[in-house]
Structure 1
Amino acid sequence: MSDSCQRDRPITGHAEGMSRDFRFGVVGESIRSGTGLAETARRAEELGYDVLTLRDHFVTEPFGDQLAPMVALASAASVTSTLRLGTMVLSNDFRHPVMLAKEAATLDHLSGGRFELGIGAGWLREEYEAAGMPFDRAGTRVGRLEESLRILRSLLGGGKTAFEGEHYRIDGLTVFPRPGRRPPLVVGAGSRRMLGIAGRHADTVGILPRALPEGAISDEISERLPDTIARKVGWVREAAEGRDVELSMMVSPTFGSDPRRAAAKVAVTRGWGTSSAEAVLGMPSQFVGPPEHIAEQMLARRDRFGFTYYQISDEDMEEFAPVIPLLTA
């Protein structure tokens, strides 16, 4: 295998060993119309959020009906001026990397350099089967993603790209419009191999529970405990070999004056039982209590794990907003 993809290098961030600033994103999970998209995008910008992201699914479950992300984000760009736009995350199997690079470069150009390309290996078996697409074994899907990331880095970096791998062959292509700088690549990952790939090729890594072979995301409580998350972060750092990689997580805030009572509510709702309330309090993906307490938790978890980019559902956008100035002022 050979390619002319450029050597990985950080495009943003602080010097080695320094903490990044916090960023906050909204995942547009309840957007069903153009009007709703524009209203959510404008409101997210007004509230101080940094990014609006959209999912990439064409079946209703488990997140509800979704607009096509790339087209919808172009529309969102036209009604905002500072809000960044991202995908959370595209399934690599749905698009050839050359076509995706063309779309990403165009969207980045139309938005004034505000696009962030999030991509993953694909995991929802039901979706593949409904569309008549082969749901290959995990190793094959992950291998395709890694090749795609190498191609995307090169094309979106402005290079003339030649690549020959097991899944893709590119012969001397460039992309137009050429980005002023390469749009950041975001990879969501939960398994060791995926986290290693993300560490090597992504600018931002979203730490997730692992995907299961049957085509679902693990709901095991162990996937969400601090030691597991620390281990996953370690795999990313090891693979990054000193590159400055931003760490991200989709989080579920639960507000209330009593953090322990809020944690017990989460434990029961998720089916983990009230005895798991103490575990919920320590989960890096769970934030419970009043805004000031949540801000303190985020500072502590930045120190412990390195997370600085948090995403929340648009359904929590208004309630979570008071946390933002506590960490970005």
Structure 2
Amino acid sequence: MALYRLFRPLAFALDAEAAHRATIAALKLMPTRHPPRFPDSLKSTVAGLNFPSPVGLAAGFDKDAEVPAEMLGLGFGFVEVGTVTPRPQAGNPKPRLFRLQSDRAVINRLGFNNRGQVAAFERLQRCSHGGVIGVNVGANKDGSDRIADFVAGVSAMASVARYLTINVSSPNTPGLRGLQDEGALEELLTAVRGARLVGGPPIFLKVAPDLGDGDPARIVRAALDHGIDALIVANTTSSRPPLKSKYSGESGGLSGEPLKTLALDTLRKFRAASGGDIPLIGVGGIASADDAWDRIRAGASLVQLYTAMVYEGPGIARRIARGLAQRLQRAGFANIAEAVGSEA
């Protein structure tokens, strides 16, 4: 934390996207650490995978699978790389990433900028690690068949992913969130199910927080019907709560502190709709052990973060993990699984 306090003014002096690229470059130069040992109380099994800590890195930070082992070494219990698309794409015009410092938030309209599945696959093949690395797959902006793009991602990345995430929740690819609609979601999940390999990695579905009243129950039913192994709740929001920053009017997905209440409320709706029949992964506005604890008690088996790391540094994952272990002990729970959904 002290080192990051020294580094942060330099990073914040740069354009947000340039600072992000500099951070990735610096991480690639660091010697890779072995993942830390976590208390046994933090270990859990979700979708057949063993997680040493429930605190994970959300997709978006390491789009091209350049530093997943490094992030595990910094204290994340699991890492999700991507979003990767079948073909490389440049994303939306710059500037497209904005720090809202006074709101402890970020707005992005990056548009799935990445070097494509082939490049990510080759890096993951070479990656030496013993942890859980998931791959978030998406569709190319100019693709003629979005569902075919997701099927291609499932097929192409299965052998290098511990789990795969179907991302239909980004607001920055026109029409993508339409795949959450009833008919389109059924068609997508049917195609994904047909592309799954026997014995292949579990498949998660990432949803948006900007949903109608009946949508959580409908999405849960579709996920269960098609064998989806977990739901990630939720991505960035296109809504705009009151914000202080001069960038508040920028278009794109809002993440960080202002998303916290909406993301927690959405998680509770999915827990109520599912009754615990499908694992939930909480993401959006998580910046402390208290935030993570609230998601777990509301029904999340795992949590993910990204924006908070911009403001607090990568040591945040270990701090939250330590805080969760303390809260489990104080509450009398032997492990994370006992605490999931306990607020009810």
TM-score (norm 2): 0.53
Name which of 305, 316, 322 aligns with 1:320. Answer: 316
Give me the whole-angstrom Cα distance separating, in 2, the residues matched to 1:215 and 1:141. 21
Give me the whole-angstrom Cα distance separating, in 1, the residues matched to 2:137 and 2:271. 21
Please tell me whether residue 114 in structure 1 is matched to residue 162 in structure 2. Answer: yes
1:267-286 pair list within 5 angstroms: 285-286=285-286
Name which of 136, 155, 158 aligns with 2:194. Answer: 155
Name the structure 2 match of 1:105: 155
CA contact (8 A) 2:237 2:259 kept: yes
Q: 1:318 to 1:184 in 2, by over 3 A?
A: same
Q: 1:144 to 1:187 in 2, by over 3 A?
A: farther
- For residue 106 of structure 1, report the CA deviation from its aligned partner: 2.9
Please state whether the residue corresponding to 1:299 is helix, strand or coil: helix
CA contact (8 A) 1:188 1:207 kept: yes
1:251-262 pair list within 5 angstroms: none
Please state whether the residue corresponding to 1:318 is helix, strand or coil: coil
Name the structure 2 match of 1:298: 292
- For residue 243 of structure 1, report the CA deviation from its aligned partner: 1.5
Q: 1:23 to 1:71 in 2, by over 3 A?
A: farther
- For residue 325 of structure 1, report the CA deviation from its aligned partner: 5.0
Name the structure 2 match of 1:24: 56
Deviation per residue, 1:26-64 (Å, 9 max, x gap)? 545376xx7xx53x2231132242113223672242345
Name the structure 2 match of 1:169: none
Q: 1:229 to 1:325 in 2, by over 3 A?
A: closer
Q: 1:68 to 1:199 in 2, by over 3 A?
A: farther
Q: What amino acid does structure 2 have at the position aligned with 1:323?
A: R
Q: What amino acid does structure 1 have at the position aligned with 2:293?
A: L
Q: What amino acid does structure 2 have at the position aligned with 1:117?
A: T
Give me the whole-angstrom Cα distance separating, in 1, the residues matched to 2:140 and 2:275. 25
Q: 1:229 to 1:322 in 2, by over 3 A?
A: closer
Q: 1:187 to 1:142 in 2, by over 3 A?
A: same
Q: What amino acid does structure 2 have at the position aligned with 1:73?
A: A
Give me the whole-angstrom Cα distance separating, in 2, the residues matched to 1:52 and 1:140. 21
1:200-219 pair list within 5 angstroms: 200=221, 201=223, 202=228, 203-208=230-235, 210-211=237-238, 216-217=252-253
Name the structure 2 match of 1:240: 274
What RMSD in Å do the two structures reach over aligned CA positions?
A: 4.2
Please tell me whether residue 73 in structure 1 is matched to residue 120 in structure 2. Answer: yes
Q: 1:123 to 1:82 in 2, by over 3 A?
A: same
Q: 1:51 to 1:317 in 2, by over 3 A?
A: farther
Q: 1:307 to 1:114 in 2, by over 3 A?
A: closer
Please tell me whether residue 199 in structure 1 is matched to residue 220 in structure 2. Answer: yes
Deviation per residue, 1:290-312 (Å, 9 max, x gap)? xxxx3354234422453622122
Name the structure 1 match of 2:23: none
Please state whether the residue corresponding to 2:306 is helix, strand or coil: strand
Name the structure 1 match of 2:203: 184
TM-score (norm 1): 0.55
Give me the whole-angstrom Cα distance separating, in 1, the residues matched to 2:130 and 2:184. 30
Name the structure 1 match of 2:7: none
Deviation per residue, 1:98-140 (Å, 9 max, x gap)? 453243133112x1x523223115522xx54xxxxxx59x767
Q: 1:12 to 1:196 in 2, by over 3 A?
A: farther
Q: What amino acid does structure 1 have at the position aligned with 2:266?
A: K
Q: 1:101 to 1:47 in 2, by over 3 A?
A: same
Deviation per residue, 1:215-263 (Å, 9 max, x gap)? 74468987642xx44542233134435412222204xxxxxxxxxxxxx
- For residue 147 of structure 1, report the CA deviation from its aligned partner: 2.7
Please state whether the residue corresponding to 2:314 is helix, strand or coil: helix
Give me the whole-angstrom Cα distance separating, in 2, the residues matched to 1:81 and 1:143. 39
Q: What amino acid does structure 2 have at the position aligned with 1:310?
A: Q
CA contact (8 A) 1:89 1:187 kept: no
Q: 1:206 to 1:238 in 2, by over 3 A?
A: same
Question: If you compute each CA radius of gyration, which structure gives the higher value, 1 or 2?
Answer: 1
Deviates more, 1:197-206 or 1:61-70: 61-70
CA contact (8 A) 2:54 2:303 kept: yes
Please state whether the residue corresponding to 2:165 is helix, strand or coil: strand
Please state whether the residue corresponding to 1:322 is helix, strand or coil: helix
Q: What amino acid does structure 1 have at the position aligned with 2:150?
A: L
- For residue 210 of structure 1, report the CA deviation from its aligned partner: 4.2
Please tell me whether residue 55 in structure 1 is matched to residue 83 in structure 2. Answer: yes
Name the structure 2 match of 1:146: 185
Q: 1:186 to 1:311 in 2, by over 3 A?
A: farther
